[in-house]
Structure formats: structure tokens, C-alpha cells
Chain A
Amino acid sequence: MFSHYLRHAARLLAKQRLHTGINVLGLATALGLCAIIAVFIKYEHSYDAWHENLDRIYRVDRVDLNPDGSVDGHSPAHPFQLAGALERDHPDIQETVRFNDTDVVFRIDGALHQEDVLFADASFFDVFTYQSVYGDLRTSLQDPASVVLTESAADRLLGPGNPIGRSLQVRYTDSFHEVVVTAVIADPLPNTNIPFEVMMSFERLPLVYEWVAERVDSWRHSSFPVYVLLREGANLASATETIESLRVQYYPDMASRGREQGWWTGEGEPATYALIPLSDLHLRSDVPGGFVATSDPSYSWILFGIGLLILVLACINFTLLTMGKSAVRAEEIGVRKALGAGRWEIMTQFGGESLLMALLGLAGGLLLAGLLLPVANSITGSELDLLGEPGVLVVIAAVALLSGLAAGSYPALMISRHRPTEALSGRFSMGSSSAITRGLLITQFAASVALIAGALVMQAQIRFLQEQDKGYDPSNIIVVSTNGTDEFRLIRHLRDRLGPQPGVLGVSGMSLSLNRGYSSSVWMAGDVERRAFVYNVAPDLPEFLGMDMLSGRGFDSARATDSTNAVIVNEAFARDWGWTPEEAVGQLVAEYGDEPEIIGVVRDMNFRSLHEEVEPMMLTQSEGWLSHALVRASSAGTPQVLASLQEAWGEFTADAPLQYTFLDDDVALAYEEDRRWARIIGISASLAILVACMGLFGLAALTVSRRTKEIGIRKVLGASVQSVMLLVSREFAILVVVATLIGAPLAYFGLGRWLDGFAFRMDLAPWWFLAAGALVLLVAMTTVAFHSVRAAISDPVKSLRYE
């Protein structure tokens, strides 16, 4: 029996190529996408999952509280001494690991390499699980002059082979020191909160970095993340209680002093400690990331929803087309019943056909997923691996079979229900006119409209952000990292070398490129907490970036005090202190350093992401470092300027490689995540409408074939080509319009919520939704037109005879 059904089904599928093609392709698209999404979600949920102690590893966060006790924010950075104190005072803490990550320049065989180095305590390999390729991990970080590499970093820097014992030159400020390779680990999985390729001993930090040495004894400067390993059997609640009480022990008079000075009005402490499970860290959007950004789990679920939606669309196609096709098979069903088939046999047969189709879809889907995985990886910035996830594959296979059953069961039920005589006489039809068909079609189109509106609006919002007047001009600015070299000498050198060149519009310098790290200061002025982002800049930076000076003046190199005790602030700063831009000029910044004088106020510039309001900002000249030279090129001259920059750098130093970015790109980094999601939604929307249109294509084919005779008669009676096309398309057009009315409001609410996450948001004009509806209508009509035109221009006699 089984082989009979299989043979029959295989021949049938081969015969009904269009029908089979649409169903299989639709299912394959949906299942392929679902497979990728499933792997992605699994990836997102298994950050650091391989550590044997995962359930006992926590990050220590300082939680700043509001007076009412609610959480103001988390900070994972701590004083140098905290880890030791916790190990001593907290009975549940077995081990602690401190971290710091810094760019370090290595000299290997004369060549310079800049590497992002993670410094960690020697306990790192006791707490976290890694596979050693060479060397003993437990002792690998004990010597402060040791370095541990991942296998790929070792290959890249030192070539193949066992590198244990090799010494590398590391540059600290101006001199090179020697470190020795003590271990090589197998490349860890990419989904980790603590990624590193090169690890060095934390103990080395205070020995070589002055800023660390200065802070070794300070409980006021917080710079180092601390992870802890709780003892086996320790209870999180009591461990948390203990660490909260330790906070009071380490900072005994914070609350009372705050109340005394008036900046703290709360009952409890202004800050406490919390233990964040490492296993949760990646998807905790309410806390700062580990050494990589956390991700918002809601995006995972939105993606999951989209995958499901497209799967539903494909299943709807499946159901609709199977029902449409069943009219053609009425006779067969009648015969089978007359020959002894019961309802159950017919249902089994049709169910089996659906399953077969689902299996084909599954095969296609996995193939598609394999092909699309590299694309998905480049968009999501992850390293997904399909074959490494047998669990996901099993789930997808189950989903495929379930969809086959779900989509095939309704038609099977309907088809098998008919009496044999009805079937034999072809008197039943389950055509596109039934309410269920219409409902399903409307669902498909509504989903398409909503997704397309989403994609359009997301793109538009990102364009809106980028086109916002930022208050400065970031175009064609090359940001050159000083890479630890003498910054003033570098800027002078670049001015001398590049300044006179025709393509160069200016050279300047600042401490941080935009969006590549922040430096913000918080201090008490009287009884008010003040906060400002601080950029240390070259004197000409305001003009160089094209900032608008609202009042006062820029830095003047001729005035000695300008380089020691003068600042330029933005409007937001003045507003925060209750001044107009004019009033602000001449004021002193109370209780900040040596109380610098405000010499000018610039118009608010969006120096951070437009997700946020512009915050108070201070430009100073006195805070020591610049760390980035800026070169503005004319738009045509950029390539030549880059070439001369390379040359000039070579003349300047042989101790560090040239590293640069474009300010434009740095600014765009703030919208990276948004742009990524806009792309993902855009692609999903395209896939959704593709699947919906494939179904529409098949349905239109069925409609036209069913109405061939009617169309023939109408044409014999004098109907025009247009009127015949209208006849076929009208019904679908009405459905799209209804779908727009349903899908648009849904999209409106969803997008409204998304836009609320931006401080600067575009208005949601109704025409976005009309445009989405129009687009769907256009695509739908084009799809239907293929068939309606064929029907309309075909020879009426032929269509009559055919019937």
C-alpha cells in the first residue's frame, strides 16, 4: 500500500510541476529561513555555554541606585583591590578574575603588529574552561611576563608549530619589553562574552602602565571588570546578600555623607553590588556587555516571529493550492472510493502526499540554509554553523513534517469527506471563492504589507538619522590613531607634511574618535551631581569639525591659560547649569579639576547616537592626551591624501603601524545595530512577499484554468482583453486592499514602539503604509497578470474546446 501511494504521489508531483514547485519552494524558503533563525537563536542563547563552571561564574556589577531604590545603571568596572577584598571577605567566593583589555603593539621578527590584548589574573584558566594545545594552562599566566595565544593567533603571528618559549617584544609607551609564550589554546567558540586571541598576565599591568600603578591602592577609581567563581553549592541569594553588605563595608559612609552634602536623599545606599550570571550576560540588555555588546533578546524573538510568520505563509499556500488542486482530483477520489477506499484511506493518501511535499521542502530548505548561512553570518556578525547543530536540524525536520501535516490535513479532511458520487461527477470544488481561502489570502497579504511597511520605515528612520544636522561635518575626515606615539609630535608632523598638500583641508587632534569609547566625568558641584562627556582636543578642533560657536570664542593658542584652564561647552551643558549660551561664557566649572573657565559655547552636536538626547559635553585642552590625529581631505583628494599619510607615518615612526578609520564610519557605528536590523527585516519582508506571491501565482493559475470556459464564452460574446484581465484580477485586488487595512495598523503600532527607542524619530506618515500596500498590490497584480494576460489574449475557441 505504502509503495503504491508513494509511486502515485511521486508521479503526481512530477506531473503537477507548477503546483509542486510552488509548494516545495515556498516551504523550502520558509524552512531554510527558520533553520537559520533557529541556529541564530541557539547561538545567541549559548554564549559561554562550554565552561564547565558556567553555573557558578558571575560578573560583579556595581549597581547605582536612585533615591527611590530603583536601578539607575550597572557598571562592571571596579577598583584594583576589589577582587582581593572579595576573595578575603566573601565566604562563597572561591576565585576571582580581574580583566583589562588594551591595544598592545608587538614586534615580531622586526614586523609590528597591533593586537587587542586581554589581561587576566592567573586564576582565569581555573575558572574558565579552555582546551590547551601546547603548554599547561594552570600555570600559564603565573609569570607576569607570559603570554597565551589562541591557535589561530599563534599561526598568524608566529607561524605554525609549537611556539612555547618563544619571546615576543611588546611596546609599552616608548620601550620594548620581552614576554614569553607559555601556552596555546584551541580557538574558543565565537559566541563568548570574553573573546580574546592574545592574553597576558594581569599582574603585569601595574608594572608597565603608569595609570594602573597609580590606581593600585585607590578605591575611588573603577577600571577593572571582576568575574567570580562561587563555591560549589553556594546559594545565589545569600551570596548576593553578602556582597551587598560588603559594599557597605567597603564604602561605609556613602549614604550618610551623601545626605549630609545633600546629593543623596534616599533611605538606603546610593550603590550596591550585584552578581550577574555569565550565562545570562549576553541577553541582558539592561546591563553593559562583557567585552562584547549584549544583545537585546527581543530581536531574537522578533526574528523568531518573522520565521514563524513566513512558515505560516508557506503553509497557507500549501493549503490553498492543495484545496484548489483537489477539484482536479475529484474524479480520482470518486473512483478510489468506488473501488473500496474509505475516508481513512483517502486521508492517509493525501496526508502522505503532503508529508512527501514537506520532505522535499525540508531538503530544499536545508540546502538553501546552507547556501544562505554565509550571508546570514555577515549580516548578523556571528559565526553560525548549521551542521554543528544536530538538535536544531531535528527540530526543523519536525517542524517541516508538522507543517506538512497541518497544511495538508484541512484539504485532506475536506476532500475525503465528499460522497463518492459528488466526487465522481466533479460536483465539488474547493475553489478560491470560499471564505477560508479569502481569509488565508488576506492573512498573507496583511503580513506582507506589515513587513514591507516595517522595512520601509526602518530604512527611512536610519536615513533620517544620518541626514540630521549633527552640528558638525564628519565628511572626509581620516582619524589616525597615535598608537601610543607622541601625539603632539605626530600632529605637528602631519601638519607640516600634509598641511601644504592640495587635497588636505586641515589637521587637528582629539582624545577619542566619536563612538569609539567615551570618557565621561561625574562630579559633585555643591550639592548637585554634574555629568559631562569630556573630549580633550587640539585648539583648532571646533573650527576643524565645523561646530557653530554660539557665544564666546574658540581656543586661542596665544593665550597661555587656554591650554591649562579653559573649556568650551555645548548648549546642553549650559542648560544643565541653568545658563543661556551668553551667560555661560566667563563662568567657572565649579568643583571640576581646577575650575576651568568657560570661554565659548557651541551648538549642540550629536556626538553620540541619536538614540539619545544630546548630553552635556566639555572640550578641554588640558587633559593630557589626544590619541587621535584628524586629517580632513577634500572629497576628491582622499585617495592621494591616504597615500601621503602612509608615507608621512613611515617617516614619523617605525615603532607602530599606521591605523586609521573614517569619522563618517565611526559616526555610523552608532547605527550599526539599527542598520543590521533594518536589513534583516528588509530581507525577511522580501522573502515573505516572495512566498506570498508564489502562492498567489499558483492560485491565479488555478483560477484561470477553472474559468477558462467562462473567459472563452465572454470573449466570444465580445469582451475586451482589459475586461477579461479585470475579471481575473479584481478579486485579488480587493483582497490586497482589505489586507492593507488590516496590516497597516498592526505595522503602525509595532513601528511606533520601535521609533520610541530613538530620541530623534521621524514622523510616521500614513503614506508609508499606503506605499507598502501599493507595493504589495503591484507585485500581486503583476503576478496575477501573467495568467490573466494569457487567458485574455488566448484564442477563445481554443479555451472553449479545451473545456
Chain B
Amino acid sequence: MIKTESLSKAYRTDEVETTALNGVSIHITPGEFVSVMGPSGCGKSTMLNILGLLDSPSDGSYVFNGTEVATLSERQRAQLRKGNIGFVFQSFNLIDELTVYENVELPLLYLGVSATERKERVGAALERTQIMHRKDHFPQQLSGGQQQRVAVARAVVANPALILADEPTGNLDSTNGEQVMKLLTELNEAGTTIVMVTHSPADAEYSHRTIHLFDGHVVTENFMSKTYAV
């Protein structure tokens, strides 16, 4: 599903050039649940953004679902992103002026899904994340845990094959964090590939393997004791 070869990313500002990623080669197969760890500033978010087609690498190759995407334009990446990739962010990033329902509906709107089907799928996603009873609330009226569950619902509503989560539990207490991790595990068990950045070894426990990044390099890949089917 994901195969990168010597992926690099450099940020150029006026004077300095920061190398955020430096020759990252990873391979993630469909159905995997991979966590990415590493010290702050080592390039985890940068990598996730590139994997999620939100950003383009400066160098290297990235094959997503069999397509070389490293050289695609922003417009082509956006097209590919639609419906294929779901995102969960550390700070939830729900849109304040939209209700829970409308937030979750958004990806379907951009996909051009019909109204009746939207209703069905949003309902299903909300049920799945157990936030249906709050569907007409605005984000500010929800707790952090509830907000992240909405974000997860929004990430899965379009049935993407891949979900990318950048520190999904970073802003949550341990109970709420656990709930979100359970949700992600369920999704993974239902077949969704998940790549998750985390600082918490406990969260990483939920995944099949952990990629350790340091200073833009992959240092080790630990396989969890749990086995997984390829």
C-alpha cells in the first residue's frame, strides 16, 4: 500500500535549510497498523503529511497503491487523497462553525455523495464512534475525548483504505486516549490500514510495529509480539 524509497524533505527558509526527512525508505502493507515514534522535531509529522499526500517530498520515490505520487501536482494529489485517506489530528481540528454531524459529513460533500447516502454513512460513522447522541452539538460543546471521536468518525466516514493519525491521544487524558486507541484498533481489525504518530509507548502497544525516526532517518523497526497477517 505504501512504499517509499529514500524519501527526503527539506524546508528552505530565507537563510537556513532544514532537512526534516533524510532518505526514509519504508514499506507498509494493507491492513497494517504502524506507529511512528521519535523525539520532537525528528520529522514524524513531516513524514505523515507526505504519506497523506498533503505535502510533496523534495526527493525520493513514494508509491501509493501502486502509483508513483512523489512528483504529482497539488491538484493531482488532492484528487487521489479524496476518499482514500482519512486524517486524525492531535488537536482534533474540527471546524468550529459546523455541528458534529456537518463536520463528519464534510468529506462526503467533497466526494459528491448523494444526500440520502450521506445521511446513512454519517449515521453509521457516528454510531461506530458512539457520538450519535451529540450530532447536533458544536465542537466547543464537547469534551476533548468526544471531539477526537468525532474526528475519527470524520476520518472513516468515506471508508478510506488508509487512516493517518498524528498524535491522536496527545491532547487527551488516559481514559479518553484509550477509548480512541480502541476505536482505531477496531477500524484496523475491520481492514483499514493505520499509520499513527505517537509519543506514548502505551499507544504504540496497540500497533503491529513501530518505526523509530531520529533526525529524519529510520533507525529501527520493532515488530510487536502480536502477529499479523500479511
A contact set with B: CB distance below 8 Å:
1, 4, 7-8, 11-12, 15, 331-332, 334-343, 345, 419-421, 424
Contact = CB atoms under 8 A, between A and B. Distances in A.
A331 B139 CA distance: 14
**Residue of A11, A12, A337, A340 with most chain B CB atoms under a 10 A cut-off:** A340
A334 B96 CA distance: 14
14 contacts: A4-B102, A8-B97, A8-B102, A332-B95, A332-B96, A335-B89, A335-B95, A340-B78, A340-B107, A342-B75, A342-B110, A419-B55, A420-B54, A424-B89
Contact of B54 (A7, A8, A343, A421): A421
Contacts of B89: 335, 424
Contact of A1 (B81, B98, B109): B109
Given A11-B97, A334-B93, A340-B81, A421 B106 contact: no
Interface in B79-131: 79, 81-83, 87, 89, 93-98, 102, 105-107, 109-111
Nearest to A12: B97
A15 B54 contact: no
Contacts of B74: 343, 419
A338 B84 CA distance: 11
Contacts of A337: 54, 78
B106 A7 contact: no
A15 B97 CA distance: 8
Interface in B9-59: 49, 52, 54-55
Given A11-B98, A332-B96, A340-B78, 4 more contacts: A332-B95, A338-B52, A338-B54, A340-B81
Nearest to B154: A339
**Residue of A8, A335, A341 with most chain B CB atoms under a 10 A cut-off:** A335
A499 to B, nearest CB: 82
A298 B166 CA distance: 65
A343 B75 contact: yes
A8 B82 contact: no
A1 B97 CA distance: 15
A419 B54 contact: yes
A11 B111 CA distance: 23
A419 B11 CA distance: 13
A335 B93 contact: yes
Contacts of A332: 95-96
B109 A421 contact: no
A424 B107 CA distance: 17
A610 to B, nearest CB: 62
Contacts of A11: 97-98
Contact of A8 (B78, B98, B158): B98
A424 B89 CA distance: 10
A335 B90 CA distance: 12
B87 A339 contact: yes
A304 to B, nearest CB: 39
B107 A339 contact: yes
Contacts of A419: 54-55, 74
A352 to B, nearest CB: 14
A8 B97 CA distance: 6
Nearest to A10: B97
Given A340-B82, A419-B74, A7 B110 contact: no
Nearest to B55: A421
